[in-house]
Copies of this chain bind each other. A is one copy, B any other.
Amino acid sequence: MSYPDYSSQGWQNITVSLDSPVAIVKLNRAKQRNTFTNGLEQDLVAAYELLDLDDRVHVIILTADHTAPAYCSGAELNSGWGSIYSKEDELHGRHTHRDAGGKVTLAIFRCRKITIAAVNGHAVGVGITGLQLPCDFRFVWAGAKLALPFVRRGIAAEAASGYLLPRLLGYSRAVALLLTGGTYSPDSPLLQGLYYATFPNREDVLPAALAFSHELAANTSQTSIAWSKALLWRGADSIEGQHILDSRGIADLVSRGDAAEGAKAFKERRSVKFTDKVSKDLSDFVPWWTELDVRQRKTKL
């Protein structure tokens, strides 16, 4: 297998660098306060799709330049809302439009690696819903101003935030965050539980996320991570169903190299050396769920 060269993909809105086995995706629109555009969406979706398939990569950090005015200050509104539409939207009808923030949410959500947002600046709207909520972990600067101001702009909970936010934090907090549209600090009671770690200085967020990533990459199994994410987010809708699913997972995993190595290292009281890869050691049983094809314009609920 040959691996992609992330420096030659022609992405204008992001840079992707490898600190193997950790990949860093950095927003590259500091002069525009890292506002969100269709171009940024396309670069991010392409990058996460490649990184998901790249066996060198175990953890993916999404971040911004810590000297930028913001981690992401929301959708680019300079040309008004009309700029959300693509040529395809006009061809098939605007009601078939697919929200750009949601496309990024799905690309990160579907990624089978560990995903982290290193939020080293202010974040607004899709800068939270698309660029934080779908990640497995969120690291944040204590001084970040965080807002989901959709109801104050005349729009609504986008980027699948109506799905993710109540699941991450419970409905009581999710409703309050979305219906006030207010600006909150990471230490707000409404955000309790959302951030894994908070840092007083902007420049410390990414290094901490990197150290955390390398520890996880060294000591966790890629296939275990992929299975665990699937069991959590694509689980059965009954506890009996979940038991059947994870039984299948255990039966598959214990037949592989990483589980043998895990048990051996545990017995020998030494660090693990996992080698199983998502590309070839993940059971054909995964995925067991069927996904709606959101790219197909005719797909409805």
Q: In whole Å, how far is A71's beta carbon from the nearest beta carbon of chain B?
A: 18
Q: In whole Å, how far is A261's beta carbon from the nearest beta carbon of chain B?
A: 6
By the criterion CB–CB under 8 Å, are B225 and A153 in contact?
Answer: no
Q: Is A164 an interface residue (CB 8 A)?
A: yes
Cross-interface CB contact of A109 among B167, B239, B274, cutoff 8 Å: B239
Docked pose: A236 CA to B225 CA in angstroms:
26
Q: Which residues of B contact A160 (CB under 8 A)?
A: 239, 242-243, 246
Given the interface contacts A156-B224, A247-B99, A263-B77, does A166 sit within 8 Å of B232 by beta carbon? yes
Docked pose: A159 CA to B232 CA in angstroms:
12
By the criterion CB–CB under 8 Å, are B154 and A261 in contact?
Answer: yes
Q: Is A38 an interface residue (CB 8 A)?
A: no
Q: Which residues of B contact A228 (CB under 8 A)?
A: 150-151, 156-157, 162, 178-179
Q: In whole Å, how far is A21's beta carbon from the nearest beta carbon of chain B?
A: 14
Q: Which residues of B contact A45 (CB under 8 A)?
A: none
Binary B-proximity of A214-251 (CB < 8 A = 1, otherwise 0): 00100111011101110111011111111111111111
By the criterion CB–CB under 8 Å, are A97 and B181 in contact?
Answer: no
Docked pose: A291 CA to B178 CA in angstroms:
24
- A interface majority secondary structure: helix
By the criterion CB–CB under 8 Å, are B192 and A254 in contact?
Answer: no
The interface on chain A, measured as residues whose beta carbon lies within 8 A of the other chain's beta carbons, has a size of 110
By the criterion CB–CB under 8 Å, are A220 and B152 in contact?
Answer: yes
By the criterion CB–CB under 8 Å, are B99 and A299 in contact?
Answer: no
Chain A positions within 8 Å of B, measured between CB atoms, are: 77-78, 80-82, 84, 89, 94-95, 97-99, 102-103, 105-106, 109, 114, 136-137, 150-176, 178-181, 189, 192-194, 196, 216, 219-221, 223-225, 227-229, 231-233, 235-263, 266-267, 272, 274, 276, 288, 291-292, 294, 299-301
A-B contact pairs, 8 of them (CB 8 A): A77-B263, A95-B252, A154-B260, A155-B254, A156-B227, A162-B228, A178-B232, A179-B229
Supply 12 further A-B pairs (C-beta < 8 A) apart from A77-B267, A156-B224, A157-B246: A152-B272, A154-B258, A155-B224, A156-B231, A157-B228, A157-B249, A158-B247, A163-B239, A170-B170, A172-B193, A189-B192, A244-B299
